[in-house]
Chain A
Amino acid sequence: EPEVTQTPSHQVTQMGQEVILRCVPISNHLYFYWYRQILGQKVEFLVSFYNNEISEKSEIFDDQFSVERPDGSNFTLKIRSTKLEDSAMYFCASNLGTGITDTQYFGPGTRLTVL
């Protein structure tokens, strides 16, 4: 069964460093998402991406964040200068794009630790 994959599973970085989290969505899906979960808190929406542009973003997704689909398979989240409070589990998701009730399929997550 097709699945969303994410790399790396764990990333440790120093405050102020740039990180890139990578995701490979399901191949025929058209909508892509990033969510994050700070330890002990809710899973929060960050951004959605469709047709090579951001379609929605939350207040969390400020200028420090960017997303890109550099080729036909990868979908990346870049944090330009990490802060301690960026430590969280980051989930990538994708859906087919047939409608608003589409199921979003999630990857296993990347745990980011900022020291």
Chain B
Amino acid sequence: AQSVTQLGSHVSVSEGALVLLRCNYSSSVPPYLFWYVQYPNQGLQLLLKYTTGATLVKGINGFEAEFKKSETSFHLTKPSAHMSDAAEYFCAVKDSGAGSYQLTFGKGTKLSVIP
């Protein structure tokens, strides 16, 4: 069974500082990996995903994530935080081998950006 761990339920950064949100997964085969963001009163929106190919994936709003198989990680980064980045971020995986469409999510990390 797959699982996703997001370290830190709440992360605070100053505006302009580096954003680093951590995600580790447990899976018997390399999964497909996703980061979603949820702004208040909105649905989960896809930021980026890794399926195959280049392990550094760029997404919307200046975010990127790197798939590191040896570390079973898919950490999300952004060089310079904006106030508009304040939201909750969810890491998710999908089993690449089972033909299953379901996403398995982490608990989420709430990002606060301090002016």
Point out residues on A near B: beta carbons under 8 Å. Answer: 3-4, 9, 31, 33, 35, 40-45, 48, 55-56, 58, 91, 93, 95, 100-109
A92 closest partner in B (C-beta) = B43
Residue among B4, B32, B43, B49 with max Cβ neighbours from chain A (10 Å)? B43
Interface residues on chain B, number (Cβ under 8 Å): 25
Q: Are A41 and B101 in contact (CB under 8 A)?
A: no
Of the stretches B11-19, B63-71, B72-80, B104-112, the one at the interface is: B104-112
B68 CB, min distance to chain A CBs, angstroms: 19
Q: Are B32 and A109 in contact (CB under 8 A)?
A: no
How many pairs of A and B residues are in contact by the CB < 8 Å rule? Answer: 63
B107 cross-chain contacts in A, Cβ below 8 A: 40-42
B92 closest partner in A (C-beta) = A43
Q: Are B44 and A106 in contact (CB under 8 A)?
A: yes
Contact of B102 among A45, A105, A106, A107 (CB under 8 A): A45
A50 closest partner in B (C-beta) = B101
